[in-house]
Amino acid sequence: MAGGGTYIDGFAGRGRADIEGEDRPGSAALAIESRAFKSLLLYELPKTAKALATYIEQNHKKAASRCLVRPGDCNRRIPEDLEAGLVPKDKPCFAFLDPNSTQLSWDTVVALAHYKAGGAPPRECKVELWILFNTHQALMRLMPRNPGPDYPTSPQAATLDRVMGAREAWWDLYQAEAGAGLYAGRYAQRLEQELGYGAARTQRILDPHTKAPQYYMIHASDHLAAHKFMYWAENATARDRSEAVRLPGIGVP
């Protein structure tokens, strides 16, 4: 889908990932190996960015000229790079956003969603999004069962505002003691209704051993072929590959 286009990895890692004790290619390595992208913008915090740049230099020398490692907070750097025109608007763009917990700000998603807005799908599509929405290990833990009177002005509530985009994006769900799936559903709904994506879907990802829900993968696209990607998501869940880093639709083994 993104052939000849740009790959954005907001939380790119160091090139390799330790998955259940096994050393496997991380998302940036998979994107490079797929050869699906003309250019790759790889965002990471400075220390890990250095390790990633070294990894690429040592293991993917030929691809190094296609890769731009961007050290720093992706919430600042992605909008700056979009503003600077680093991503061609006339080519597909695919963004994989895989934070550890609550690092992805809604404003960053807005910047990506608006960047290529206004085209005529399927020829001209918005930036396609794959977002790891960290419900169980992060967001739900910021919502106490019995909140004190200061909770609405607490750092936890402010973090939820930043991640969800606004107080009204989550407060009613919290008041209703909603489960994690409804927060993921709300996020997807806002991708469609507020940011204009043709379709946004959520896929619950389970722990392969305990089968306990871990997080949701959220996919937003206005490309007709997006449904194909949802089959990928279903397969990924059915095979319980929850911890494996898999990039849909780009021929990763």
Q: Which residue is nearest to ligand SAM (CB)?
A: 13
Q: Is residue 221 involved in binding ligand SAM (CB under 6 A)?
A: no
Q: Which of 44, 81, 128, 222 is close enough to bind ligand SAM by CB under 6 A?
A: 44
Q: Which residues touch 110 (CB under 8 Å, ≥6 apart)?
A: 165, 195
Q: Count CB atoms within 10 A of the CB of residue 179.
A: 13
Task: Mark 73-83 as b/e (b = at least 16 C-beta within 10 Å).
Answer: bbbebbbebbe
Q: Least distance (Å) from ligand SAM to the CB of residue 150? A: 27
Find the part of the chain contacting ligand SAM (CB under 6 A) among 43-51, 81-89, 178-186, 187-195. Answer: 43-51
DSSP H or E run through 161: helix 155-164
Report how far residue 152's alpha carbon sits from residue 12's, in angstroms, rounded to the nearest whole number.
Answer: 33
Q: Is residue 13 involved in binding ligand SAM (CB under 6 A)?
A: yes
Q: Which of 6, 103, 108, 202 is close enough to bind ligand SAM by CB under 6 A?
A: 103
Q: Least distance (Å) from ligand SAM to the CB of residue 48? A: 4
Q: Which residues touch 74 (CB under 8 Å, ≥6 apart)?
A: 10, 11, 43, 44, 103, 104, 108
Report how far residue 199's alpha carbon sits from residue 192's, in angstroms, rounded to the nearest whole number.
Answer: 6
Q: Least distance (Å) from ligand SAM to the CB of residue 82? A: 15
| 220 or 222: CB nearest ligand SAM | 220
Residues of this chain that interact with ligand SAM (CB under 6 A) are 11-13, 17, 26-27, 43-45, 48, 73-75, 98-100, 103, 245
